[in-house]
Amino acid sequence: MPARRGTKNQANHGSGQSSKKSSALKVTSASRQPKTVPAAPKESSKANPPATTSAELQQRLLDIFSTALNARLTPSLPSLLQEIKGHLFARDFEKAFGKAEYLDIYALRWSPGRALAYLDIFQSLSEHILRIRIDGNSVEDAGQEQNAAEPRSGDDEALGTASSSLRVTCLGGGAGAEVIALSGFLSHLNDGQSSTELPSTARLFQDLDLTTVDLADWSDVLDNLKTHIVEPPRLSVYASAARKAAATPLLAASSLSCSLGTRDILSLSAVELRAIVRGAQLITLMFTLNELYTSSVAGTTKFLMTLGAVASPGTLLLVVDSPGTYSTVAMGGREEKKYPMQWLLDRTLLEQKERNEDDGRSWRWEKLVTEESKWFRIPEGLRYPIELENMRYQMHLYRLL
């Protein structure tokens, strides 16, 4: 089960994107404060204004993971984690993600920290994401014109109308970090916590319509997490009446739609990829693209070119991956050379201008934001039963012209 096909760059855990920790993990009480690691040197980047995520919201996201996956917090957890790490290190993804308990444990161990980092990223990009509403849903207008002959089943609003849904396609997003982070992002916006200066009447999305694509079958994990997103948090029987009254779901059940497609990303035809990204205002590749390149440079280049041809103008593409030498791709056979993932990505998206054979439309992406290397650090004071890790990453945001 190669990670290239939607299972996220798992072999890099503990080297590159996250601070190194002891390989022996302890199952701790939920009240134990997670350990932190020494600060890394500051690195230059094109940073956006800092996010304003509250500690209360961050703790709420961690609580969803620990409550939803509580059944896996057993004395056998450390040994099972070592089994998964061994399979990942050996790049035996079929074994690493071949058992339901492995999927639960992976989501319990690695997805929470990433969810906090992703929430921070979405917050830092909120002006670009919210601009979709200001611009009158131009992505959906184009999606309706492009797919007029193929209506999308299940939509509560026709493409091209002023939809209140934030529609996101997560390629390689089965392990739960994206759905939790995006749910937190939407909740954050609707609670009026956003620091953006966009008009409040036009900036809010009311619903989240999320499509994930992954090779592993994460449906049970996603269904479990979704249940706890749309249910009020579980409180102690001794909680005050005021606290019980304030205990509301992160999102209403009617505000969250989440579906999973179990597919090999690089095997998708243009027709299949168009159906997956149709109407999406945001497409994400979170710790997935480097594995795609590692598996097949030619296949990944073709996939990215097809994505540009089938997505609607105005669509945002967010790529997050390990930084620096942890995301290099070997090419050239005997005269092998290593190229940065970012260079290959920009070369495909920014320097090539292809014509869509279906409608004659030429396409090209523009880069809106780039961060070559950045740290997300787990804030002090958050509670989680397993030690979490800081995350180092590169990030690039593009818009389809």
Task: List pLDDT tens digits, range 268-278.
Answer: 999 999 999 99
CA separation, residue 253 to residues 122, 227, 243 (Å): 22, 8, 21
Rounded to 5, what percent of the chain is helix, strand, coil? Answer: 40, 15, 40
Question: SS3 of 231, please?
Answer: coil
To the question of pTM greater than 0.75 for the whole model, the response is yes
CA distances from 153 to 21, 157, 158, 273 (A): 46, 10, 10, 16
Residue type (1 letter), 268: L
Which range, of 85-89, 239-243, 281-285, 359-363, averages the lowest pLDDT?
Answer: 359-363
Beta partners for residue 213, in sequence order: 171, 261
For 375-386, the pLDDT digits (tens) are 999 999 999 999
The torsion angles phi and psi of 184, rounded to 5 degrees, stand at: -65, -40
- What's the pLDDT at 36? 38
313-345 as b/e, with b when 16 or more CB fall inside 10 Å?
A: bbbbbbbbbbbbebbbbeeeeeeeeeebbbebb
Residue 366's pLDDT band (boundaries 50, 70, 90)?
A: very high
Amino acid (1-letter code) at residue 388: L
**Residues 46, 308, 397: CA angle, nearest 5 degrees:** 15
